[in-house]
């Protein structure tokens, strides 16, 4: 067995490193920079039933140790993802891919997940009920245990592949929401999405983002993410995928000690396209330094 190998919902990964949705597109651009088959897998850009242009600009604002984004789920819609993006991806990526799905109603989630579930290259469905940058959907499903369970149960009825529900940190009791998803049939939980934040232009006195608020990502949120992964890993029996401010091999190991089976890397990909490659290459050396024989030995060790 490979020292860095893990198994996520029954599917083997060469390593636990997964570029997070929204930071890796549909993989093709990064495939021009390096062989993306070194990744455990990646979560492709948040996909909705219909095409979305996204929010008005400006959509990005820098902040200390991170960034705010309010892109608003810009994507070509599930039909074009299936007809154009997945065939193009198959030419450069030979592993199962994680399909990230967003919606504005339970019916939206069901429609999109049912379609993507039939695609051979899709290994997991990451159901995003936690996007803070859209109105009338996204995060509204992830802040209430009943609503989260409703989406989870509805998606599970029309799918055969593992369903991983992506949770929002913008709640008071994330463990309760994770348990509700597990009880409704979720095969895994991923967290955290971005923290709701805001910046103001001192010259104009107006918000820097056209959407006013946006999602905070980057190293600033890492301790919050570790805490929430730890809380959820204690609360559920299904695998947990941790993310939030991860930018190094040491961060990956810390997140796994908190209870994550696999770890997604987000904003780091936007500042360094080779971030995930560097993390994967650094993992064995970091494991040697810490006396870790294999990564599966440390999952949840802090619990």
Amino acid 140: pLDDT: 64
| 124 three-class SS | strand
Residue 206 lies in a domain: no
* Interior/surface letters 79-117, b for 16+ CB within 10 angstroms, e for the rest: eebbeebbeebeeebebbbbbbbbbbebebbbbbbebbb
Q: How far apart are CA 15 and CA 238, in angstroms?
A: 19
State the residue range of the domain holding 94.
6-54+71-197+217-297
Residue 179 lies in a domain: yes
Residue 182 lies in a domain: yes
Amino acid 139: pLDDT: 52
CB 300 within 8 A of CB 259: yes
Specify the number of domains making up the chain: 1
Residue 1 lies in a domain: no
Count Cβ atoms below 10 Å from residue 153 Cβ, excluding itself: 17
Establish whether 131 is a catalytic residue: yes
Amino acid 135: pLDDT: 47
Task: Answer whether the bond into residue 50 is a cis peptide, omega within 30°.
Answer: no
Amino acid 1: pLDDT: 65
Residue 212 lies in a domain: no
Q: Smallest Cα–Cα separation from 17: which of 98, 74, 88, 94?
A: 98
The packing angle between helices 174-183 and 222-235, to 10°, is 40
CA 79 remoteness from chain centre: 21
- Residue 68: φ, ψ to 5°: -105, 140
Residue 192 lies in a domain: yes
CB 106 within 8 A of CB 78: no
Q: What is the CATH number of the domain that holds 112?
A: 3.20.20.70
Residue 112 lies in a domain: yes
Residue 59 lies in a domain: no
Question: Which of these is catalytic: 113, 131, 181, 276?
Answer: 131
From first to last of the 303 residues of the chain, give the pLDDT tens digit.
699 999 999 999 999 999 999 999 999 999 999 999 999 999 999 999 999 998 999 999 999 999 999 998 899 999 999 999 999 999 999 999 999 999 989 999 999 999 999 999 999 999 999 754 444 555 567 788 999 999 999 999 999 999 999 999 999 999 999 999 999 999 999 999 999 999 999 999 999 999 999 999 999 999 999 999 999 999 999 999 999 999 999 999 999 999 999 999 999 999 999 999 999 999 999 999 999 999 999 999 999
């Amino acid at each position: 067995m490979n020292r860095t190998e893990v198994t996520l919902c029954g599917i083997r990964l060469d390593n636990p490193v997964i570029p997070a949705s929204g930071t890796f597109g549909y993989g093709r651009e990064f495939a021009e920079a390096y062989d993306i088959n070194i990744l455990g897998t990646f979560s492709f850009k948040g996909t909705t039933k219909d095409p979305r242009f996204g929010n008005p600009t400006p959509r990005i604002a820098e902040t200390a140790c991170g960034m705010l984004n309010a892109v608003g789920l810009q994507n070509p819609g599930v039909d074009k993802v299936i007809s154009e993006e997945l065939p193009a991806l198959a030419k450069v990526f030979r592993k199962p891919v994680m399909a990230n799905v967003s919606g504005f109603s339970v019916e939206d989630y069901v429609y999109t997940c049912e379609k993507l579930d039939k695609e051979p290259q899709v290994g997991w469905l990451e159901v995003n009920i936690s996007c803070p940058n859209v109105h009338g959907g996204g995060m509204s499903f992830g802040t209430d245990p009943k609503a989260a369970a409703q989406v989870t149960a509805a998606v599970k009825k029309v799918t055969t592949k593992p369903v991983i529900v992506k949770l929002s940190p913008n709640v008071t009791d994330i463990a309760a929401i994770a348990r509700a998803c597990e009880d409704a049939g979720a095969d895994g939980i991923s967290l955290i999405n971005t923290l709701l934040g805001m910046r103001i232009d001192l010259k104009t006195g107006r918000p820097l983002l056209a959407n006013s608020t946006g999602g905070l990502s980057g190293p600033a949120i890492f301790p919050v993410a570790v805490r929430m992964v730890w809380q959820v890993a204690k609360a559920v029996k299904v695998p947990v995928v941790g993310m939030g401010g991860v930018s190094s091999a040491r961060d990956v190991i810390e997140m796994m000690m908190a209870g994550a089976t696999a770890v997604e890397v987000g904003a780091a990909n936007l500042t360094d396209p080779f971030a995930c490659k560097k993390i994967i290459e650094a993992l064995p050396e970091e494991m040697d330094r810490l006396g870790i024989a294999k990564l599966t030995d440390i999952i949840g060790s802090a619990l």
